[in-house]
Structure 1
Protein backbone atom coordinates (compact mmCIF):
# COMPACT_ATOMS: atom_id res chain seq x y z
CA UNK A 1 0.00 0.00 0.00
CA UNK A 2 1.25 3.50 -0.83
CA UNK A 3 0.36 6.32 1.58
CA UNK A 4 1.24 9.74 0.20
CA UNK A 5 1.10 12.41 2.94
CA UNK A 6 -2.08 10.82 4.37
CA UNK A 7 -2.14 12.77 7.65
CA UNK A 8 -1.08 16.23 6.44
CA UNK A 9 -4.55 17.82 6.57
CA UNK A 10 -5.25 16.74 10.17
CA UNK A 11 -4.66 18.82 13.29
CA UNK A 12 -1.92 17.64 15.69
CA UNK A 13 -4.04 15.62 18.13
CA UNK A 14 -6.12 13.92 15.45
CA UNK A 15 -2.99 13.25 13.38
CA UNK A 16 -1.36 11.31 16.25
CA UNK A 17 -4.52 9.29 16.96
CA UNK A 18 -5.11 8.48 13.29
CA UNK A 19 -1.46 7.56 12.73
CA UNK A 20 -1.53 5.17 15.72
CA UNK A 21 -4.76 3.56 14.45
CA UNK A 22 -3.35 3.13 10.93
CA UNK A 23 -0.10 1.61 12.25
CA UNK A 24 -2.08 -0.87 14.37
CA UNK A 25 -4.31 -1.85 11.43
CA UNK A 26 -1.34 -2.32 9.08
CA UNK A 27 0.58 -4.40 11.63
CA UNK A 28 -2.44 -6.65 12.21
CA UNK A 29 -3.02 -7.17 8.48
CA UNK A 30 0.67 -7.63 7.65
CA UNK A 31 0.36 -5.19 4.76
CA UNK A 32 3.63 -3.88 3.35
CA UNK A 33 3.30 -0.11 3.20
CA UNK A 34 5.34 2.79 1.82
CA UNK A 35 4.68 6.13 3.52
CA UNK A 36 5.75 9.32 1.73
CA UNK A 37 6.07 12.25 4.13
CA UNK A 38 7.95 15.47 4.84
CA UNK A 39 7.27 15.11 8.58
CA UNK A 40 10.39 13.72 10.32
CA UNK A 41 8.51 12.57 13.41
CA UNK A 42 5.99 10.75 11.25
CA UNK A 43 8.73 9.05 9.22
CA UNK A 44 10.69 7.99 12.28
CA UNK A 45 7.68 6.66 14.20
CA UNK A 46 5.76 4.97 11.38
CA UNK A 47 7.90 2.23 9.96
CA UNK A 48 10.56 -0.39 10.45
CA UNK A 49 12.78 1.27 7.85
CA UNK A 50 13.43 4.81 6.64
CA UNK A 51 14.83 5.87 3.28
CA UNK A 52 15.95 9.47 2.78
CA UNK A 53 15.32 10.90 -0.69
CA UNK A 54 17.29 13.98 -1.71
CA UNK A 55 17.51 15.47 -5.20
CA UNK A 56 16.25 12.27 -6.81
CA UNK A 57 18.57 9.83 -5.02
CA UNK A 58 18.46 7.70 -1.86
CA UNK A 59 21.67 8.60 0.01
CA UNK A 60 20.79 6.67 3.19
CA UNK A 61 18.35 4.05 4.39
CA UNK A 62 18.08 1.84 7.43
CA UNK A 63 16.26 1.59 10.72
CA UNK A 64 14.78 4.82 12.08
CA UNK A 65 17.29 4.67 14.95
CA UNK A 66 20.32 4.34 12.66
CA UNK A 67 19.29 7.05 10.19
CA UNK A 68 18.43 9.51 12.97
CA UNK A 69 21.35 8.61 15.24
CA UNK A 70 24.09 8.14 12.62
CA UNK A 71 23.16 10.27 9.59
CA UNK A 72 25.61 9.92 6.72
CA UNK A 73 25.93 13.66 6.10
CA UNK A 74 25.19 16.90 7.92
CA UNK A 75 22.48 17.57 5.34
CA UNK A 76 20.73 14.28 6.14
CA UNK A 77 21.10 15.05 9.86
CA UNK A 78 19.33 18.40 9.38
CA UNK A 79 16.61 16.79 7.26
CA UNK A 80 15.86 14.33 10.07
CA UNK A 81 15.42 17.03 12.74
CA UNK A 82 16.98 20.05 14.41
CA UNK A 83 20.77 19.99 14.77
CA UNK A 84 23.58 22.06 16.19
CA UNK A 85 26.65 21.96 13.91
CA UNK A 86 29.82 23.09 15.67
CA UNK A 87 33.39 23.72 14.59
CA UNK A 88 35.45 21.26 16.62
CA UNK A 89 38.99 20.15 17.39
CA UNK A 90 39.53 16.41 17.61
CA UNK A 91 41.35 14.83 20.57
CA UNK A 92 41.27 11.08 20.02
CA UNK A 93 37.74 9.89 20.75
CA UNK A 94 36.62 13.31 21.99
CA UNK A 95 36.29 16.81 20.58
CA UNK A 96 36.54 20.30 22.02
CA UNK A 97 33.81 22.69 20.90
CA UNK A 98 31.75 25.69 21.98
CA UNK A 99 29.65 23.20 23.97
CA UNK A 100 32.71 21.88 25.79
CA UNK A 101 34.43 18.51 25.50
CA UNK A 102 32.15 15.92 23.91
CA UNK A 103 32.70 12.24 23.19
CA UNK A 104 32.54 11.07 19.56
CA UNK A 105 29.62 8.71 18.94
CA UNK A 106 30.15 8.26 15.18
CA UNK A 107 32.92 9.54 12.92
CA UNK A 108 31.71 10.38 9.40
CA UNK A 109 34.64 12.72 8.68
CA UNK A 110 36.63 10.23 6.54
CA UNK A 111 39.77 11.17 8.50
CA UNK A 112 39.49 14.91 7.82
CA UNK A 113 41.80 17.01 9.96
CA UNK A 114 39.30 19.86 10.24
CA UNK A 115 35.94 18.62 11.58
CA UNK A 116 32.45 19.76 12.50
CA UNK A 117 30.48 18.07 15.27
CA UNK A 118 26.74 17.50 15.11
CA UNK A 119 24.54 17.16 18.18
CA UNK A 120 20.78 17.38 18.53
CA UNK A 121 19.33 20.15 20.75
CA UNK A 122 17.62 17.38 22.75
CA UNK A 123 21.10 16.19 23.81
CA UNK A 124 21.96 19.56 25.38
CA UNK A 125 20.87 20.42 28.91
CA UNK A 126 21.39 23.44 31.13
CA UNK A 127 23.77 23.12 34.04
CA UNK A 128 25.11 25.24 36.89
CA UNK A 129 28.60 23.95 36.05
CA UNK A 130 30.29 26.49 33.74
CA UNK A 131 33.51 24.50 33.25
CA UNK A 132 32.41 22.49 30.20
CA UNK A 133 30.53 24.90 27.98
CA UNK A 134 28.69 28.09 28.80
CA UNK A 135 26.21 30.36 27.07
CA UNK A 136 24.34 33.62 27.43
CA UNK A 137 20.54 33.47 27.68
CA UNK A 138 19.22 35.69 24.88
CA UNK A 139 15.52 34.88 25.16
CA UNK A 140 12.88 32.80 26.93
CA UNK A 141 9.54 32.06 25.25
CA UNK A 142 6.83 30.10 27.06
CA UNK A 143 4.73 27.58 25.12
CA UNK A 144 2.37 26.00 27.61
CA UNK A 145 4.21 23.38 29.69
CA UNK A 146 7.52 24.03 27.92
CA UNK A 147 9.71 27.03 27.32
CA UNK A 148 12.10 27.65 24.44
CA UNK A 149 15.35 29.11 25.73
CA UNK A 150 17.50 30.93 23.16
CA UNK A 151 21.22 30.81 23.88
CA UNK A 152 24.48 32.10 22.41
CA UNK A 153 27.67 30.27 23.37
CA UNK A 154 30.48 32.35 24.83
CA UNK A 155 33.21 30.71 22.72
CA UNK A 156 34.66 31.96 19.46
CA UNK A 157 32.82 31.77 17.14
CA UNK A 158 29.58 32.12 19.13
CA UNK A 159 26.94 29.52 18.26
CA UNK A 160 23.21 30.22 18.57
CA UNK A 161 20.92 27.43 19.74
CA UNK A 162 17.45 26.96 21.18
CA UNK A 163 16.47 24.39 23.81
CA UNK A 164 13.00 23.28 24.85
CA UNK A 165 12.84 22.76 28.61
CA UNK A 166 10.01 22.39 31.15
CA UNK A 167 8.45 25.79 31.84
CA UNK A 168 9.04 25.44 35.59
CA UNK A 169 12.81 25.16 35.01
CA UNK A 170 12.79 28.29 32.87
CA UNK A 171 11.21 30.50 35.54
CA UNK A 172 14.60 31.10 37.17
CA UNK A 173 16.24 32.11 33.86
CA UNK A 174 16.63 35.75 32.90
CA UNK A 175 17.84 37.26 29.65
CA UNK A 176 21.52 38.08 30.13
CA UNK A 177 22.18 35.20 32.56
CA UNK A 178 25.12 32.88 31.90
CA UNK A 179 24.37 29.16 32.13
CA UNK A 180 26.41 26.01 31.81
CA UNK A 181 25.78 23.49 29.05
CA UNK A 182 26.09 19.72 29.16
CA UNK A 183 25.92 17.37 26.16
CA UNK A 184 24.84 13.75 26.57
CA UNK A 185 25.14 10.96 24.02
CA UNK A 186 28.16 12.13 22.04
CA UNK A 187 28.55 13.85 18.68
CA UNK A 188 28.65 12.75 15.05
CA UNK A 189 31.70 14.10 13.22
CA UNK A 190 31.75 15.37 9.66
CA UNK A 191 34.41 17.06 7.57
CA UNK A 192 34.44 20.79 8.36
CA UNK A 193 33.55 21.37 4.69
CA UNK A 194 30.15 19.74 5.33
CA UNK A 195 27.33 22.09 4.43
CA UNK A 196 23.58 22.17 4.79
CA UNK A 197 21.55 23.29 1.76
Structure 2
Protein backbone atom coordinates (compact mmCIF):
# COMPACT_ATOMS: atom_id res chain seq x y z
CA UNK A 1 0.00 0.00 0.00
CA UNK A 2 1.37 3.42 -0.93
CA UNK A 3 -1.46 5.89 -0.37
CA UNK A 4 -0.56 9.38 0.84
CA UNK A 5 -2.00 10.65 4.13
CA UNK A 6 -1.41 14.17 5.46
CA UNK A 7 -2.81 14.90 8.92
CA UNK A 8 -3.12 18.31 10.60
CA UNK A 9 -0.13 19.73 8.70
CA UNK A 10 1.06 23.12 9.97
CA UNK A 11 3.76 25.31 8.45
CA UNK A 12 4.87 28.84 9.21
CA UNK A 13 7.66 30.90 7.66
CA UNK A 14 8.72 33.57 10.14
CA UNK A 15 5.47 35.20 11.23
CA UNK A 16 3.58 34.09 8.14
CA UNK A 17 1.30 31.10 8.58
CA UNK A 18 1.08 29.18 5.30
CA UNK A 19 -0.63 25.89 6.22
CA UNK A 20 -3.27 25.62 8.92
CA UNK A 21 -4.12 22.06 9.91
CA UNK A 22 -4.20 20.54 6.42
CA UNK A 23 -5.71 17.06 6.00
CA UNK A 24 -5.27 15.29 2.67
CA UNK A 25 -5.58 11.70 1.49
CA UNK A 26 -4.67 10.20 -1.88
CA UNK A 27 -5.70 6.52 -2.03
CA UNK A 28 -3.25 3.87 -3.12
CA UNK A 29 -2.73 3.77 -6.90
CA UNK A 30 -4.85 6.86 -7.60
CA UNK A 31 -4.05 10.29 -9.05
CA UNK A 32 -5.04 13.14 -6.75
CA UNK A 33 -5.04 16.83 -7.61
CA UNK A 34 -4.31 19.64 -5.17
CA UNK A 35 -6.00 22.66 -6.72
CA UNK A 36 -5.92 26.30 -5.70
CA UNK A 37 -4.84 29.80 -6.75
CA UNK A 38 -1.28 31.04 -6.46
CA UNK A 39 -0.31 31.75 -2.87
CA UNK A 40 -2.78 29.33 -1.24
CA UNK A 41 -0.05 27.02 0.14
CA UNK A 42 -0.16 24.11 -2.29
CA UNK A 43 3.54 24.35 -3.26
CA UNK A 44 4.50 24.43 0.40
CA UNK A 45 2.51 21.26 1.00
CA UNK A 46 4.22 19.56 -1.94
CA UNK A 47 7.64 20.52 -0.57
CA UNK A 48 6.70 19.13 2.84
CA UNK A 49 5.65 15.81 1.32
CA UNK A 50 8.85 15.68 -0.75
CA UNK A 51 10.92 16.45 2.35
CA UNK A 52 12.33 19.76 1.10
CA UNK A 53 10.77 21.53 4.09
CA UNK A 54 10.12 20.43 7.69
CA UNK A 55 6.68 20.26 9.25
CA UNK A 56 5.99 22.50 12.23
CA UNK A 57 3.24 20.12 13.36
CA UNK A 58 1.21 17.27 11.95
CA UNK A 59 2.06 14.02 10.23
CA UNK A 60 2.82 12.80 6.70
CA UNK A 61 2.85 9.12 5.76
CA UNK A 62 2.94 7.01 2.62
CA UNK A 63 1.43 3.60 3.18
CA UNK A 64 2.54 2.34 6.58
CA UNK A 65 5.68 4.49 6.59
CA UNK A 66 5.77 7.79 8.48
CA UNK A 67 7.83 10.36 6.54
CA UNK A 68 7.40 13.29 8.89
CA UNK A 69 5.83 13.98 12.27
CA UNK A 70 6.25 17.39 13.84
CA UNK A 71 9.69 18.92 13.58
CA UNK A 72 11.61 16.09 15.24
CA UNK A 73 10.75 13.17 12.93
CA UNK A 74 11.91 14.02 9.41
CA UNK A 75 13.02 11.48 6.79
CA UNK A 76 15.46 13.03 4.32
CA UNK A 77 14.17 13.57 0.75
CA UNK A 78 16.48 10.98 -0.84
CA UNK A 79 15.22 8.30 1.56
CA UNK A 80 11.49 8.92 1.18
CA UNK A 81 10.85 6.94 -1.99
CA UNK A 82 9.07 9.96 -3.46
CA UNK A 83 9.61 11.00 -7.08
CA UNK A 84 9.18 14.63 -8.13
CA UNK A 85 8.36 15.97 -11.61
CA UNK A 86 9.13 19.71 -11.41
CA UNK A 87 7.91 22.52 -13.62
CA UNK A 88 9.52 22.55 -17.08
CA UNK A 89 11.22 19.19 -16.51
CA UNK A 90 14.48 20.54 -15.02
CA UNK A 91 16.61 18.05 -16.96
CA UNK A 92 20.40 18.13 -16.75
CA UNK A 93 21.37 19.82 -20.05
CA UNK A 94 24.78 18.09 -20.28
CA UNK A 95 23.39 14.55 -19.88
CA UNK A 96 21.67 12.40 -22.50
CA UNK A 97 18.08 11.27 -22.07
CA UNK A 98 19.25 7.87 -20.80
CA UNK A 99 21.69 9.38 -18.30
CA UNK A 100 19.04 11.83 -17.06
CA UNK A 101 16.68 8.92 -16.40
CA UNK A 102 19.39 6.77 -14.81
CA UNK A 103 20.49 9.58 -12.49
CA UNK A 104 17.88 8.66 -9.89
CA UNK A 105 18.98 5.04 -9.80
CA UNK A 106 22.11 5.86 -7.82
CA UNK A 107 24.78 3.18 -7.58
CA UNK A 108 22.71 0.23 -8.69
CA UNK A 109 24.42 -2.22 -11.07
CA UNK A 110 25.05 -1.12 -14.64
CA UNK A 111 22.87 -3.89 -16.08
CA UNK A 112 19.97 -2.95 -13.79
CA UNK A 113 20.38 0.75 -14.57
CA UNK A 114 20.34 0.13 -18.31
CA UNK A 115 17.38 -2.24 -18.15
CA UNK A 116 15.30 0.00 -15.91
CA UNK A 117 16.10 3.06 -18.05
CA UNK A 118 14.94 1.27 -21.20
CA UNK A 119 11.82 0.08 -19.40
CA UNK A 120 10.63 3.50 -18.24
CA UNK A 121 11.53 5.19 -21.54
CA UNK A 122 9.32 2.66 -23.30
CA UNK A 123 6.61 3.32 -20.74
CA UNK A 124 6.57 7.04 -21.57
CA UNK A 125 6.82 6.45 -25.33
CA UNK A 126 10.46 7.51 -25.79
CA UNK A 127 12.25 4.19 -26.31
CA UNK A 128 14.17 5.52 -29.32
CA UNK A 129 15.39 8.69 -27.64
CA UNK A 130 17.97 7.38 -25.16
CA UNK A 131 20.99 9.02 -26.82
CA UNK A 132 19.41 12.41 -27.50
CA UNK A 133 20.25 15.52 -25.53
CA UNK A 134 17.57 17.60 -23.80
CA UNK A 135 17.91 20.50 -26.25
CA UNK A 136 16.99 18.11 -29.08
CA UNK A 137 13.60 17.40 -27.53
CA UNK A 138 10.30 19.25 -27.64
CA UNK A 139 8.80 20.61 -24.43
CA UNK A 140 6.40 17.69 -24.19
CA UNK A 141 9.19 15.17 -24.70
CA UNK A 142 11.27 16.83 -21.99
CA UNK A 143 8.38 16.48 -19.54
CA UNK A 144 8.02 12.81 -20.42
CA UNK A 145 11.73 12.31 -19.73
CA UNK A 146 11.25 14.04 -16.36
CA UNK A 147 8.38 11.66 -15.60
CA UNK A 148 10.52 8.67 -16.62
CA UNK A 149 13.30 9.88 -14.30
CA UNK A 150 10.83 10.16 -11.41
CA UNK A 151 9.45 6.67 -12.08
CA UNK A 152 12.80 4.94 -12.59
CA UNK A 153 13.54 4.22 -8.87
CA UNK A 154 10.02 2.73 -8.51
CA UNK A 155 8.85 5.31 -5.94
CA UNK A 156 5.88 4.79 -3.65
CA UNK A 157 4.60 8.25 -4.59
CA UNK A 158 5.09 10.69 -7.49
CA UNK A 159 4.57 14.44 -7.05
CA UNK A 160 3.84 16.53 -10.15
CA UNK A 161 4.45 20.25 -9.62
CA UNK A 162 2.43 22.06 -12.32
CA UNK A 163 4.29 20.08 -15.01
CA UNK A 164 2.30 21.34 -18.00
CA UNK A 165 2.51 25.11 -17.43
CA UNK A 166 5.11 25.88 -20.08
CA UNK A 167 3.35 23.98 -22.87
CA UNK A 168 0.93 25.36 -25.47
CA UNK A 169 -2.75 24.48 -24.88
CA UNK A 170 -3.03 21.73 -27.51
CA UNK A 171 0.12 19.93 -26.33
CA UNK A 172 -0.85 20.44 -22.70
CA UNK A 173 -4.14 18.60 -23.18
CA UNK A 174 -2.49 15.75 -25.08
CA UNK A 175 0.38 15.33 -22.63
CA UNK A 176 -1.70 15.32 -19.47
CA UNK A 177 -3.79 12.45 -20.84
CA UNK A 178 -0.57 10.59 -21.71
CA UNK A 179 0.78 11.20 -18.20
CA UNK A 180 -2.44 9.90 -16.68
CA UNK A 181 -2.20 6.69 -18.70
CA UNK A 182 1.50 6.23 -17.80
CA UNK A 183 0.78 6.60 -14.09
CA UNK A 184 -2.11 4.14 -14.28
CA UNK A 185 0.03 1.62 -16.15
CA UNK A 186 2.80 2.02 -13.58
CA UNK A 187 0.25 1.61 -10.77
CA UNK A 188 1.86 4.40 -8.76
CA UNK A 189 0.13 6.82 -6.39
CA UNK A 190 0.50 10.41 -7.58
CA UNK A 191 -0.36 13.95 -6.51
CA UNK A 192 -0.68 16.74 -9.09
CA UNK A 193 -0.31 20.30 -7.80
CA UNK A 194 -1.96 22.84 -10.09
CA UNK A 195 -3.83 26.15 -10.25
CA UNK A 196 -5.64 25.10 -13.47
CA UNK A 197 -9.16 23.76 -12.77
CA UNK A 198 -9.50 22.19 -16.21
CA UNK A 199 -6.26 20.27 -15.66
CA UNK A 200 -7.34 18.94 -12.28
CA UNK A 201 -10.88 18.07 -13.32
CA UNK A 202 -9.83 16.30 -16.53
CA UNK A 203 -7.22 13.84 -15.21
CA UNK A 204 -7.53 13.40 -11.44
CA UNK A 205 -9.43 10.68 -9.62
CA UNK A 206 -9.94 13.00 -6.66
CA UNK A 207 -9.60 16.76 -6.17
CA UNK A 208 -8.71 18.71 -3.02
CA UNK A 209 -9.44 22.43 -3.17
CA UNK A 210 -7.13 24.64 -1.12
CA UNK A 211 -7.78 28.22 -0.07
CA UNK A 212 -5.60 30.31 2.27
CA UNK A 213 -3.70 27.34 3.64
CA UNK A 214 -6.73 25.11 4.29
CA UNK A 215 -8.36 22.29 2.31
CA UNK A 216 -11.92 23.54 1.92
CA UNK A 217 -13.48 20.77 -0.18
CA UNK A 218 -12.58 17.32 -1.49
CA UNK A 219 -14.32 14.91 -3.83
CA UNK A 220 -14.33 13.45 -7.29
CA UNK A 221 -13.97 15.96 -10.16
CA UNK A 222 -17.68 15.68 -10.90
CA UNK A 223 -18.65 16.17 -7.25
CA UNK A 224 -16.62 19.34 -6.70
CA UNK A 225 -17.68 20.81 -10.05
CA UNK A 226 -21.38 20.07 -9.77
CA UNK A 227 -21.70 20.56 -6.00
CA UNK A 228 -19.20 23.24 -4.94
CA UNK A 229 -19.09 24.18 -1.28
CA UNK A 230 -19.66 27.90 -1.87
CA UNK A 231 -20.13 30.39 -4.70
CA UNK A 232 -16.43 31.31 -4.68
CA UNK A 233 -15.47 27.69 -5.28
CA UNK A 234 -18.09 27.38 -8.01
CA UNK A 235 -16.71 30.40 -9.85
CA UNK A 236 -13.12 29.23 -9.51
CA UNK A 237 -13.93 25.82 -11.01
CA UNK A 238 -15.71 27.11 -14.09
CA UNK A 239 -18.19 29.54 -15.62
CA UNK A 240 -21.18 30.36 -13.45
CA UNK A 241 -24.39 32.32 -13.56
CA UNK A 242 -25.11 33.93 -10.18
CA UNK A 243 -28.50 35.53 -9.54
CA UNK A 244 -30.47 36.48 -6.40
CA UNK A 245 -32.97 34.00 -5.04
CA UNK A 246 -34.93 33.00 -1.99
CA UNK A 247 -35.24 29.56 -0.40
CA UNK A 248 -38.74 28.61 0.68
CA UNK A 249 -39.85 25.14 1.80
CA UNK A 250 -36.90 23.45 0.13
CA UNK A 251 -37.35 25.24 -3.21
CA UNK A 252 -35.61 28.30 -4.63
CA UNK A 253 -37.58 31.17 -6.14
CA UNK A 254 -35.62 33.30 -8.63
CA UNK A 255 -35.85 34.93 -12.06
CA UNK A 256 -35.42 31.51 -13.71
CA UNK A 257 -38.46 30.09 -11.95
CA UNK A 258 -38.90 27.70 -9.04
CA UNK A 259 -35.82 25.48 -8.83
CA UNK A 260 -34.55 22.57 -6.75
CA UNK A 261 -31.32 23.21 -4.80
CA UNK A 262 -28.88 20.44 -3.92
CA UNK A 263 -28.09 22.22 -0.68
CA UNK A 264 -30.14 24.58 1.45
CA UNK A 265 -27.26 25.63 3.74
CA UNK A 266 -28.73 27.66 6.60
CA UNK A 267 -32.42 27.25 5.86
CA UNK A 268 -35.03 29.62 4.42
CA UNK A 269 -34.00 33.09 3.41
CA UNK A 270 -32.49 35.19 0.67
CA UNK A 271 -29.23 34.26 -1.01
CA UNK A 272 -27.51 33.49 -4.27
CA UNK A 273 -28.45 30.91 -6.89
CA UNK A 274 -25.44 29.52 -8.76
CA UNK A 275 -25.95 27.70 -12.06
CA UNK A 276 -23.51 26.41 -14.70
CA UNK A 277 -24.22 27.94 -18.15
CA UNK A 278 -24.48 24.47 -19.70
CA UNK A 279 -27.42 23.76 -17.36
CA UNK A 280 -29.44 26.68 -18.76
CA UNK A 281 -31.59 25.46 -21.64
CA UNK A 282 -33.73 27.50 -24.02
CA UNK A 283 -36.30 26.73 -26.72
CA UNK A 284 -37.49 29.13 -29.40
CA UNK A 285 -41.22 29.84 -29.47
CA UNK A 286 -42.97 27.32 -31.71
CA UNK A 287 -40.47 24.53 -30.98
CA UNK A 288 -41.21 21.47 -28.89
CA UNK A 289 -40.80 22.20 -25.15
CA UNK A 290 -41.26 25.92 -25.87
CA UNK A 291 -44.07 25.97 -23.29
CA UNK A 292 -41.65 25.08 -20.46
CA UNK A 293 -39.67 27.63 -18.47
CA UNK A 294 -39.82 31.41 -18.13
CA UNK A 295 -40.27 33.73 -21.12
CA UNK A 296 -37.33 35.69 -22.51
CA UNK A 297 -35.44 36.63 -25.62
CA UNK A 298 -31.99 36.19 -27.12
CA UNK A 299 -30.03 39.36 -26.34
CA UNK A 300 -26.68 38.45 -27.90
CA UNK A 301 -24.62 35.52 -29.21
CA UNK A 302 -20.86 35.00 -28.88
CA UNK A 303 -19.23 32.37 -31.10
CA UNK A 304 -16.83 30.21 -29.04
CA UNK A 305 -15.66 27.62 -31.56
CA UNK A 306 -16.98 24.30 -30.26
CA UNK A 307 -20.14 26.00 -28.98
CA UNK A 308 -21.76 29.41 -28.61
CA UNK A 309 -22.44 31.57 -25.58
CA UNK A 310 -26.04 32.74 -25.82
CA UNK A 311 -26.96 35.74 -23.69
CA UNK A 312 -30.59 35.56 -22.59
CA UNK A 313 -32.77 38.34 -21.20
CA UNK A 314 -35.48 37.10 -18.83
CA UNK A 315 -38.73 38.90 -19.60
CA UNK A 316 -40.00 41.42 -17.04
CA UNK A 317 -37.12 41.00 -14.57
CA UNK A 318 -34.11 42.85 -15.96
CA UNK A 319 -32.10 39.64 -15.41
CA UNK A 320 -29.63 38.47 -18.04
CA UNK A 321 -28.06 35.01 -17.99
CA UNK A 322 -25.79 33.13 -20.37
CA UNK A 323 -26.19 29.63 -21.74
CA UNK A 324 -23.73 27.33 -23.49
CA UNK A 325 -25.33 25.99 -26.65
CA UNK A 326 -24.34 23.56 -29.42
CA UNK A 327 -27.35 24.49 -31.54
CA UNK A 328 -26.66 25.10 -35.21
CA UNK A 329 -27.62 27.50 -36.44
CA UNK A 330 -28.07 29.60 -33.31
CA UNK A 331 -31.41 31.47 -33.27
CA UNK A 332 -31.24 35.11 -34.25
CA UNK A 333 -30.81 37.91 -31.76
CA UNK A 334 -34.22 39.11 -30.60
CA UNK A 335 -35.89 35.71 -30.96
CA UNK A 336 -38.41 34.98 -28.23
CA UNK A 337 -37.58 31.91 -26.15
CA UNK A 338 -38.51 29.94 -23.07
CA UNK A 339 -35.70 29.48 -20.56
CA UNK A 340 -35.36 26.71 -18.00
CA UNK A 341 -32.73 25.05 -15.84
CA UNK A 342 -31.87 21.38 -16.28
CA UNK A 343 -31.24 19.61 -12.96
CA UNK A 344 -30.46 20.99 -9.52
CA UNK A 345 -28.84 24.32 -8.69
CA UNK A 346 -26.59 25.55 -5.92
CA UNK A 347 -28.05 27.94 -3.37
CA UNK A 348 -26.05 29.82 -0.74
CA UNK A 349 -27.61 31.99 1.97
CA UNK A 350 -26.51 35.60 2.11
CA UNK A 351 -24.17 37.30 -0.33
CA UNK A 352 -22.11 35.18 -2.68
CA UNK A 353 -18.62 34.24 -1.52
CA UNK A 354 -15.92 36.30 -3.23
CA UNK A 355 -14.41 34.99 -6.43
CA UNK A 356 -11.00 33.45 -5.89
CA UNK A 357 -8.37 35.76 -7.26
CA UNK A 358 -4.80 34.99 -8.18
CA UNK A 359 -2.33 37.12 -6.24
CA UNK A 360 1.43 37.49 -6.71
CA UNK A 361 3.26 34.70 -4.90
CA UNK A 362 5.41 35.79 -1.97
CA UNK A 363 8.77 34.34 -1.00
CA UNK A 364 7.01 32.25 1.65
CA UNK A 365 4.64 30.80 -0.95
CA UNK A 366 7.53 29.65 -3.11
CA UNK A 367 9.57 28.03 -0.39
Q: TM-score range by the shorter chain?
A: 0.7 to 0.9
The answer for the alignment partner of 2:178 in structure 1 is 21
Indicate whether 1:149 and 2:310 are aligned: yes
Match of 2:277 among 113, 117, 121: 121
Give distance in 2, aligned partners of 1:83 and 1:191: 17
Give distance in 1, aligned partners of 2:248 and 2:316: 18
Give distance in 2, aligned partners of 1:6 and 1:30: 19
Match of 1:94 among 230, 236, 251: 251
CA RMSD of aligned residues (A): 2.0
Give distance in 1, aligned partners of 2:193 and 2:296: 39
TM-score, normalising length from structure 2?
0.49
Gaps of 5+ in 2: 1-157, 285-289, 356-367
Residue 154 of structure 1 deviates from its aligned partner by: 2.8
Equivalent pairs counted in the alignment come to 193
Residue 63 of structure 1 deviates from its aligned partner by: 1.9
Gaps of 5+ in 1: none
TM-score, normalising length from structure 1?
0.86
Match of 2:238 among 56, 81, 89: 81
Deviating above 4 A after TM superposition, structure 1's stretches of 4 or more consecutive aligned residues are none
Give distance in 1, aligned partners of 2:192 and 2:321: 31
Give distance in 2, aligned partners of 1:115 and 1:91: 11
Aligned positions of 1:1-197 closer than 5 A: 1-107=158-264, 109-128=265-284, 129=290, 132-156=293-317, 158-166=318-326, 168-170=328-330, 173-197=331-355
Quickly say closer, same or farther: Cα 1:115–1:144, change in 2 above 3 A.
Answer: closer
* CA-to-aligned-CA distance 1:117-152 (integer Å, 9 cap, x gap): 211111111123365223332212223442221223
Q: Which structure shows the bigger proportion of residues in strand conformation?
A: 1
8 Å contact from structure 1 (residues 118, 188) kept in 2: yes
